Amino acid sequence: MINVTKSDLPDLEKYVEYLKKIWSSRQLTNDGEFVQLLKGKLEEYLSVENLVLVSNGTVALQLALKVLQLRGDVITTPFTFSATTNVILWEGLTPVFADIDPDTFNIDPKEVEKKITRKTSAILATHVYGNPCDVEELQKIATEYKLKLIYDAAHAFGVEYKNESVLNYGDISTLSFHATKVFNTIEGGAIVVKDEELFGKLKLLRNHGIKSEEDVVLPGTNAKMNEFQAVMGLCNLENIDEKIRLRKSLYERYRERLRGTKGVKFQKIIASKHNYIYMPVCFENIETRDGIYSELIKNGIKPRKYFFPLTVNFSYFKKRGMDLIEKYRLQKAADIANRVLCLPLYSDLEIAAVDSIASIIKAK
C-alpha cells in the first residue's frame, strides 16, 4: 500500500550515536543537552526567537491559549485538523467558526470580521497544508478589535511569506513535529512567541510552573520534550532541505501530470517559500472525489480525505443538535471538504508512483 505519507527517518547509526550519549549521561528529559541544542538550531533554521519545545503540537496549542488568558469566544476555521477545535473546547472557550477562502483554503479575513462580538477574545487561524493565511489582513483585524492572534502552524515548518518566516506573524505560532510532518521528532512540537514575558511563562507552564526546586509559581502541566525526541529532530534537521527539495519535485510532477484534467483544482499557494507537506487536489464534486478515492484504494494507493469532515460535523457537535454549517454560513468550507483529496506525497515516493496515480485519476 502506498500511503498518503510516510515518516522520514535518519541514518540509524547516527541516531544510535546520540543514544549512546544519552545512555552515558542518564539524562532523559528535563531540558537536557539535546533539547537545548535542538532549540538553538531550530531558532536559527526557522529565523525565529523565543522558541519553546514541547511534547506534541496539540499541547503547544493548548499552552498558547492558556498563556494568553483568553475568555469567551475564539474565531477559528472548521477546515483544519481536530486539534485546532478541540483545544478551544478544552480550555473552556467557545469556538466560533468563520468560512474559508475557496482558493487558498485558509480562513477568510472578511468572514472573521463578520463574526466578531463583545465576547471575542482571539483569532485562531490555521496555515492549511502549510499555505500562509492572509496574515496582513488578519493582523489589521486583530489590531483594530484588540484581539489576540494565534496561528496553528502545524503544517508550516520552514514556510515563508514575502521572504520572512510565517512564524513571525501574530502573537503566537505553534508547530507540530509529529511523525507525519515534513520535520519530525517522532512526537513533538514548538511554540514561537514574540513577547518576552509570555516566553518566560510558557517555559514555566510546560514544566508544572516550577521556577526552582522549592518555588512553584503557577499551575502548569508536563509538556516537555524529551531527549529521545530531540535527537531524532537533530538527525532529521541535517537533511531537511534535501527532503523538501524531493517533495517539491514530486509536488510539481503531480501538478504537471494533472494540469488541464477536467474538474481538477489545485490550492492557490501564496508562500514565497513552501514546504510541500501535502498534495491536495479538489475534484468536481463529492461523487467524483469518492469514486477516485475508491479507485485508488483498489490499486493499493491510500490517499486521504483531508479535511473531511469539517470539525463542525464531528459527532460531539451533532449530539447537541446543532447544524453549524448553516449557523455560521460555512458553505465554502463545506464545498472544499466534500471535494478535496490529499494524494500520497513523501520524500522517497517514486516518480513512477506519481505518474501511476495521475493516470488513474485522469482515466476516472
Q: 3-28 pLDDT, tens per residue?
A: 999 999 999 999 999 999 999 999 99
| Interstrand relation of 189-193 and 51-54 (parallel, antiparallel or unpaired) | antiparallel
Per-residue model confidence (pLDDT) at position 359: 97
pLDDT band at 318 (very low <50, low <70, confident <90, very high): confident
CA-nearest of 201, 193, 198, 199 to 172 is 193
Amino acid at position 222, single letter? N
Per-residue model confidence (pLDDT) at position 322: 66
The CB density around residue 3, as the number of other CB atoms within 10 Å, is: 14
Per-residue model confidence (pLDDT) at position 323: 82
Please report the sign of the dihedral spanned by the C-alpha atoms of residue 269, residue 270, residue 274, residue 275.
Answer: negative
Residue 75 CA to residue 142 CA, distance in Å, equals 11
Length of the chain: 364
Q: Compute the mean pLDDT over every residue in the chain, rounded to the nearest whole number.
A: 97
Q: 127-150 pLDDT, tens per residue?
A: 999 999 999 999 999 999 999 999
Residue 290 CA to residue 294 CA, distance in Å, equals 6
pLDDT band at 321 (very low <50, low <70, confident <90, very high): low
279: which strand partners? 343
Place of cell 475508491: 294
Helices (H), 115-239: 135-144, 196-205, 227-238
165: which strand partners? 160
Query: Would you say 185 and 232 are in contact if contact means Cβ atoms under 8 Å apart?
Result: yes
What are the cell numbers at 236?
Answer: 532529521
For residues 75-79, average pLDDT: 98
Say if residue 352 is exposed, middle or buried (CB neighbours under 10 Å; 0-12, 13-18, 19+). exposed
Q: 85-127 pLDDT, tens per residue?
A: 999 999 999 999 999 999 999 999 999 999 999 999 999 999 9
Q: Is the pLDDT of residue 364 over 90?
A: no
CA-nearest of 182, 199, 85, 75 to 133 is 75
Residue 189 CA to residue 307 CA, distance in Å, equals 21
Which residues, 6+ apart, have CB-to-CB distance to 49 below 8 Å?
A: 43, 192
Q: 169-193 pLDDT, tens per residue?
A: 999 999 999 999 999 999 999 999 9
Residue 250 CA to residue 106 CA, distance in Å, equals 23
**How large a percentage of the chain has pLDDT more than 70?**
99
91: which strand partners? none
Query: Which domains are present in the chain?
Result: 2-238 (3.40.640.10), 240-363 (3.90.1150.10)
Q: Is the pLDDT of residue 320 over 90?
A: no
CA-nearest of 247, 349, 245 to 301 is 349
Query: Would you say 125 and 171 are in contact if contact means Cβ atoms under 8 Å apart?
Result: no
∠ CA 19-23-24, rounded to 5°:
115
